[in-house]
Amino acid sequence: MTAAMDLGMSDRVRPLVEQVRRMVRDEIAPLDAEYHAEVGRHPSGNRFAMTGRQVEILDALKETAKARGLWNFWLTDSDKGYGLTTVEYAYLAEEMGAVTIAPEIFNCNAPDTGNMEVLERYGTDAQKARWLPGLMEGRTRSAYLMTEPDVASSDAVQISLECERDGEDYVLNGEKYWATGAGDPRCSLYIVMTRTDPDAPKHSRHTMLLVPADTPGIDVLRPMEVFGHDDAPHGHMHIRFTDVRVPRDAVVLGEGRGFEVAQGRLGPGRIHHCMRAIGRAEYALELACKRALGREAFGKPLAELGANYDIIANARIEIEMTRLLCLKAAWMMDNAGVRAAQPWISKIKVQAPLMALKVVDEAMQIFGATGISQDTPLAGIYTDLRTLRFADGPDAVHRRQVARAELRKYSNTTR
């Protein structure tokens, strides 16, 4: 690599970052709590059905973002979007990550960004025509179904949802869970990792399929709960497939190429997750500082009590270090490709959630009991971040990848 490593904010993205930051803090954050307070208030009693007020909040904010041209930033290196680099997008992902509903307002929310990338990069013309318009316009949602309840899905070669050819169709049988976004009533598409040939070489056994969410034989069994919360109306669902039939043209890229699609999807997605985690840490630190300066105990501002100066200083230091590591991973993605960037992506996938969890935990301490209540967003942020330590691979898997890359420098026989 001979290119100079420039991790700074470019002149092209700087005004976009400023606009997004203002909109997130001034227009979206004030409505985030109201949006989530509406969960469970639908007349049907269905917690995953969206109320009129929720729809109103989302639609109004989305129209504002579209009108300002703040839309589909995730389309990096594409003539259909801004054509941003991964480094440039990382700065935007950080700003959008601060508030729970913000990424969707700009149509930059997981798992839809990754699913749209799959369609954009690997889909046929017919697949793109069917699925991309609704997703690109923010009218529909999608889910990515990879994890399974009966195998250790962190070792993805074990994924075993059966997919057998029957004439011009594939027939699917098995279960998936932690299908993020599948609870959303607007979710119309599942991208499903299946096993088509158990006897093939381990990285050629699997095939990715586009499956309409309303296909007969699909049953949503339950929402998976995180610390007792179902994350409605978004949801992480447990889904069963019973003799589900999809046509051969539902295959993405080709039979046996599921791993290739998955790796192409997960690399950028992990960077996006980590930069959003940094945005959450920044927001938590902001809330903590304002609380520390605005409330007194024992005759002093909270900032001057105990070790709060050290806690705030360490939070700032760790945020800055983690941001630089994330930006380097993004630069590697832009300049060396997914494979070369993989060890760096694994590093940030471990570090960013751990750092952000620590900052949020300290912020909750500064707030006291209020910090774990519904009166601040901190408890919800903490729950999401703890979940992120499993999403797209648990810490142990990523540490293994980092260690293998490190040991490879010194040995030709690393296991």
Alpha carbon distance 75, 83 (integer Å): 6
Mapped onto helix, strand or coil, the DSSP state of residue 169 is strand
- pLDDT at residue 4 tops 70: yes
29-37 and 52-67 helices, crossing angle to 10°: 160
For residue 126 the two structure tokens come to: 């017919």
Q: What is the pLDDT of residue 153?
A: 87
Over residues 72-92, the mean pLDDT reads 85
Mean pLDDT, rounded, for 51-67: 98
Confidence check: pLDDT of 231 > 80: yes
pLDDT tens column, 283-313: 999 999 999 999 999 999 999 999 999 999 9
Q: Pseudo-torsion of CA 94, 100, 101, 102, nearest 10°?
A: -20
Specify the pLDDT at position 2: 54
Compute the Cα dihedral for 276, 398, 74, 212 and give only its sign: negative
pLDDT digits 0-9 by tens, 20-42? 999 999 999 999 999 999 999 99
User: Which residues are bridge partners to 236 per DSSP?
Assistant: 180
298: left (phi over 0), alpha (psi -120 to 50) or beta: left
The average confidence (pLDDT) of the chain is 94
Q: Say yes or no to pLDDT of 386 above 60.
A: yes
pLDDT of residue 266: 75
What the block records as the tokens of 201 is 């070489």
| Mean pLDDT across 357-382 | 96
pLDDT for the residue 221: 98
